[in-house]
Structure formats: C-alpha cells, structure tokens
C-alpha cells in the first residue's frame, strides 16, 4: 500500500506553494540571515576604522630611534671624559639622524606601496565585473531550462542546464585566479578587516556555487529519470533549484559593489 504525499505538484491552499518551493523559501530565509550577519559586520568594522586601517590594516609602529640613542649617549657620557664625550656625542648625533631618517623612510614605504590604490581589491574589479556578467547569464540559462521543460523539450533543458554548469565553472576559475593574485601580492585574510571580510564572504559564496553545481549536475544527469515517470514533480524540482540559483546570483550582486566598488 503506497501513501501519496500531498502538495508535491499542487500548491497548498494556505501558502499557494508546493512543498518543495516552501522548503526552498524557508532555507533561503536562513541564508539571508547568514549573509546578513556578514554584511552587518562590514558596516560595523568600516564605521569603526579609518579607510586606510580598514582596507590595508593599521600602519606599523616605528620605534623612536632618536630616543634610544639618547639613552646610550647618557651612559657613555658618564664613563667618558669631556673630550671623548664630545666626539662620541657628535658621532651619535649623526647616527641618530640617519636612524631617524631610515625609520621614517621605512614607515613611509608601507604607505607609498598603497599610494596608487584606493583599495586592495581595486585591481580585481575587471575580474569581478566579468564574474557578475557570468552569473547573470547563468540565471537566464536556468530560466530557459525551466521553460524548456514546460514545453516538454528535455533535450533543450539539458543544453541550458549544462550551459549553466559551464558558466558556474567559469565563475570558479576566475575566482581562483583572483585569489592567487591576491596571495601573490601579499594580501591575506589577516592583512586587514576588509580582506578578512572579502575572503570570508566570497569563499562562503563560492561554497554555495559549488553546492549548486552538484545539484544541477545530478538533475541534468541521473535525476532526469523522474521526467519519464513524473514530469510534473521533476519540473517542480527544477523550479525550486532555480530559486536557489537566483539567490546565489543575487548575493553576488550585493557582494560586488560592497566589496569592490564602495
């Protein structure tokens, strides 16, 4: 005796949604809270720091070389006669000046390294822009795949779903190049609050993209067996997965301007 589960293909009268769509919407609500926490952290950290400290990290503390040399002069002055003390004092004046100038140069060099950059992510804007176009295009292909099923065209559905997976891999490839470029230039999560948020939020998004690829690959492969036995339920699954993929794209639409452009 088999038991038929209600509201698999027909919407519930109280919500107007099938069970699959209702479950996806509840899941996406939790995802909004997850990413919302990181966006809130961005606002708090940026408001609590200067842009230089937020983007590039606090400037290194340079020890006052002139003060240290003054302590050495005092010790040597007590153990020397007046002539030797005068000679040593003159010599130390020169070394203190050199040390102070050297310290100032070192302190300024870290700032000069970023003098031509508004943000450590500035050089990655072209790649991020390209990835934005890739994800928007993948949302279009998901819609076309769903529309193909409504037209009972399984072959075209597979084409558009396969194209969506290919675009997702393009996105991941560009992110890999972007990450390796940042590491090569000495930018790591511990470098600054901005980079910590950048690596955390974008990698979390990458994990969602990978999860989407797994589900899409299953539905375009073994999952299509359901099309022969229950096409309405299979179409409902594709619609639910499409909602998730649109959410992944929408998150990137927020990440792109917040991290790269603001």
Q: Write out the residue range of the structural domain in which residue 84 sits.
A: 65-113
User: Contacts by 182-186 with C-beta closer than 8 Å and gap 24+?
Assistant: 182/120, 182/124, 185/120
The model's pLDDT over 116-145, given as tens digits with 9 standing for 90+, comes to: 678 899 999 999 999 999 999 999 999 999
Residues 213 and 133 in one domain: yes
Asked whether residue 57 is domain-assigned, the answer is no
The model's pLDDT over 155-202, given as tens digits with 9 standing for 90+, comes to: 999 999 999 999 999 999 999 999 999 999 999 999 999 999 999 999
Asked whether residue 255 is domain-assigned, the answer is yes
Q: Are 107 and 62 in contact (CB under 8 A)?
A: yes
Cβ neighbours, 10 Å, residue 114: 15
Q: Are 212 and 168 in contact (CB under 8 A)?
A: yes
The model's pLDDT over 17-56, given as tens digits with 9 standing for 90+, comes to: 888 888 999 999 999 999 999 999 999 999 999 999 998 9
Our CA angle for 97, 102, 106, nearest 5°, is 150
**Angstrom distance (rounded) from CA 208 to CA 58:** 32
Residues 218 and 134 in one domain: yes
Tally of domains within the chain: 2
Q: Residue 72: which pLDDT band, with cuts at 50, 70 and 90? A: low
**Angstrom distance (rounded) from CA 88 to CA 94:** 10
76: which DSSP letter?
A: H
Residues 83 and 173 in one domain: no
Domain end (from 95, 113, 131): 113
Please determine, for residue 114, whether its predicted confidence score (pLDDT) is greater than 70. no
Residues 94 and 223 in one domain: no
In percent, the amount of the chain with pLDDT more than 70 equals 77
185: which DSSP letter?
A: T
Residues 82 and 130 in one domain: no
Mean pLDDT of the chain: 83
Domain end (from 113, 133, 148): 113
**Angstrom distance (rounded) from CA 133 to CA 121:** 18
Residues 198 and 82 in one domain: no
Asked whether residue 23 is domain-assigned, the answer is yes
Asked whether residue 3 is domain-assigned, the answer is no
**Angstrom distance (rounded) from CA 213 to CA 173:** 13
Residues 160 and 109 in one domain: no
């Amino acid at each position: 005796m088999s038991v038929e589960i209600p509201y698999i293909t027909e919407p519930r009268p109280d919500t107007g949604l099938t069970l699959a769509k209702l479950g996806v919407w509840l899941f996406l609500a939790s995802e909004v809270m997850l990413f919302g926490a990181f966006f809130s952290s961005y606002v708090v950290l940026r408001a609590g720091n200067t842009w230089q400290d937020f983007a590039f990290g606090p400037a290194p503390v340079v020890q006052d070389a002139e003060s240290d040399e003054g302590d050495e002069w005092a010790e040597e002055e007590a153990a020397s006669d007046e002539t030797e003390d005068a000679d040593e004092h003159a010599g130390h004046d020169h070394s203190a000046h050199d040390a102070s100038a050297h310290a100032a140069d070192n302190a300024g060099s870290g700032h000069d390294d970023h003098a031509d950059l508004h943000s450590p992510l500035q050089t990655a804007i072209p790649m991020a822009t390209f990835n934005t176009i890739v994800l928007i295009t993948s949302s279009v292909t998901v819609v076309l795949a769903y529309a193909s099923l409504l037209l009972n065209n399984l072959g075209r559905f597979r084409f558009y779903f396969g194209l969506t997976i290919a675009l997702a891999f393009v996105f991941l490839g560009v992110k890999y190049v972007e990450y390796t470029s940042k590491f090569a230039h000495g930018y790591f999560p511990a470098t600054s609050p901005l980079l910590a948020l950048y690596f955390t939020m974008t990698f979390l998004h990458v994990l969602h993209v990978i999860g989407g690829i797994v589900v899409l690959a299953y539905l375009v492969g073994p999952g299509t067996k359901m099309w022969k036995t229950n096409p309405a339920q299979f179409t409902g699954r594709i619609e639910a997965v499409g909602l998730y993929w649109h959410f992944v794209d929408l998150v990137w639409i927020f990440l792109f301007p917040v991290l790269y452009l603001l």
